[in-house]
Amino acid sequence: MITLHHVPGSRSMRVLWLLEEMGLEYALRHWSLTDGGLRGPEFRALSPAGRIPAIEIDGRTIFESGAIIEYLTETRPEAGLAPSPGEPTRADFLEWVHFAETQANILQNLNIHHIFLRPVEARSPVLTRLDTKRLEVTMRALEAHLDGREYLIGPFSGADCMLGFNIDAMFRFVRPEPFPNISAYRQRVQSRPAYRRAVAKGGGDSIYSQDFYELPDV
């Protein structure tokens, strides 16, 4: 049995969504980002940096969402959710899997700046603006890449689970109007039955209490 260690609305959503796309059976074990459990020895044995997700599969544990996506698609090629090593689009797949994590790290910084850091006076308007600009750079690149494309590398793949997860968070910090291709892609990926099942089983967002977070005055 596969066990996914999960927090609703966190990067484990990428893996949950892919498990649904692949039609695999799995169990979910829920954790919290805020109760200290991820820092304890039980979770650290699964994920040494104390980060979600981790997965127990095939007699071992794997941490890092990108590594899990690559492992699942490589070991279950019959699902057809990634080009195999050596195929021409393999490098495209890897680029977008890892691009998604570059972008997620900026989103994580923005979550810290806008939501998690206490006391509020410790937050830096300058860093918040800088990270918002860095997010916009990744969004402009994605917008251009999606022009004329339905999914990131042609057919739907595990790279779309990696990046599709980021989109709701992007639009909490950057307005959607200049990004029609990303908005249309969001509709496409979020209307997939597997995505809807993943949200229904794993829970939706557990981080945001506002639709949009305005930039602070500098």
Query: Given the complex with ligand GSH, which of 31 and 185 has the nearer CB atom?
Result: 31
Q: Which amino acid is at 168?
A: D
Query: Given the complex with ligand GSH, which of 38 and 198 has the nearer CB atom?
Result: 38
Query: Given the complex with ligand GSH, which of 11 and 113 has the nearer CB atom?
Result: 11
Least distance to ligand GSH from the beta carbon of 86, Å?
Answer: 25
Residue 93's CB is within 10 A of a number of other CB atoms, namely 25
Query: Given the complex with ligand GSH, which of 60 and 175 has the nearer CB atom?
Result: 60
Least distance to ligand GSH from the beta carbon of 147, Å?
Answer: 27
Least distance to ligand GSH from the beta carbon of 143, Å?
Answer: 23
Least distance to ligand GSH from the beta carbon of 135, Å?
Answer: 16
Are 132 and 174 in contact by the 8 Å Cβ rule? The answer is yes
Query: Given the complex with ligand GSH, which of 134 and 181 has the nearer CB atom?
Result: 134
Least distance to ligand GSH from the beta carbon of 13, Å?
Answer: 9
What does the chain look like in DSSP terms, one character per residue?
-EEEEE-TTSTHHHHHHHHHHHT--EEEEE--SSSSGGGSHHHHTTSTT--S-EEEETTEEEESHHHHHHHHHHH-GGG--SPPTTSTTHHHHHHHHHHHHHHHHHHHHHHIIIII-SSGGG--HHHHHHHHHHHHHHHHHHHHHTTT-SSSSSS--HHHHHHHTTHHHHHHHS-STT-HHHHHHHHHHHTSHHHHHHHHHH-S-SS-SSS--PPPP-
Q: Which residues bind ligand GSH (CB under 6 A)?
A: 10-11, 33, 38, 50-53, 64-66, 101
Query: Given the complex with ligand GSH, which of 36 and 148 has the nearer CB atom?
Result: 36
Least distance to ligand GSH from the beta carbon of 137, Å?
Answer: 19
